[in-house]
Structure 1
Amino acid sequence: MDLVRAILLKIEGHPTPTVEGYLEVDGYEQGPIHHHIDLLKQAGFVDAFCAMDANTEYGFLFQDVSLTWQGHEFLGTVRDPEIWQKTKAGAAKVGAWSVSIVAELAKGFVLQKMTTLGLPVGA
């Protein structure tokens, strides 16, 4: 999930809305990055076009990668490093790392932080 979060942050922070060519994420090789972009595409978090590229180690290259609304929503809940650390700790305790579980945990921590800050929560 750290790589998923890092990819989404990297795409969001790109100077243009669409990343073309290689997406580099510090500490990760292209194979796991490509695999996770494919998973993010399947989950509806990113739009991406995959092109065959014989010059790459993996034979393909993701081009035109951009965040979807759902990707922005998920990233919005896990962006804050403090919330992310709590979310990871919570997921480790539960033993569940599905995207939906992680998103729900993060939302809970965001709501908790809002309450602590005296912000209105709910209707």
Structure 2
Amino acid sequence: MKLNHECVRKCLLVLENNIGVANAVDSKKLINALDYDKDESFYALQKLSEGGFIVGGPTVLYPVGGAQKHYAPITDITWKGHEYLDAIRDDKIWKKAKSATSSLKSVSLSVMKDVASHFLTEYIKGNLM
């Protein structure tokens, strides 16, 4: 399955607004609330968890008898997750980063972060002068 960068971004933005120090986000409710295909949202959150961007989240378990989806709560956004989100949060920067990478067949989250960080740095430099 292909990772949808828009869905990843939306997941992190929603999580940032809903996770607190003492409260987790129910991953199944989050998936149902997003405007993406349920499997696409599940996959995005699963990969965010595997990649160390969030703590917790959905997984697929393989007990005897077949695969089952497991919806663990999401308890936090990691430092790595916040770094990524800080680079891609601004809509203008996000649109520029997507445009700059649109001709490529695949772009990792770290490359998207680097491209967005470049545009963010240029924007800041332009506003300081």
TM-score (norm 1): 0.80
Give 1:105 deviation, angstroms: 0.2
Instruction: Provide the residue aligned with 1:63 in structure 2.
Output: 73
Instruction: Provide the residue aligned with 2:47 in structure 1.
Output: 39
Are residues 104 and 15 of structure 1, via their aligned partners in 2, closer, same or farther at CA, if it must alter by over 3 Å?
closer
State the identity %.
Answer: 24
Give 1:69 deviation, angstroms: 0.6
Alignment size in residue pairs:
114
More helix per residue:
2
- C-alpha distance in structure 1 between counterparts of 2:110 and 2:52, whole Å: 13
Instruction: Provide the residue aligned with 1:14 in structure 2.
Output: 18
RMSD, aligned α-carbons: 2.1
More displaced, 88-97 or 106-115?
Answer: 88-97
Q: Give the match's secondary structure for 2:20.
A: coil
Gaps of 5+ in 2: 62-67
TM-score (norm 2): 0.77
Are residues 37 and 65 of structure 1, via their aligned partners in 2, closer, same or farther at CA, if it must alter by over 3 Å?
farther
- C-alpha distance in structure 1 between counterparts of 2:20 and 2:54, whole Å: 15
The answer as to 2:86 corresponding to 1:76 is: yes
The structure 1 segments of at least 4 consecutive aligned residues displaced by more than 3 Å after TM superposition are: 49-52, 93-96
Instruction: Provide the residue aligned with 1:26 in structure 2.
Output: 34
Gaps of 5+ in 1: 53-57
Code of the residue aligned with 2:48 in structure 1: it is L
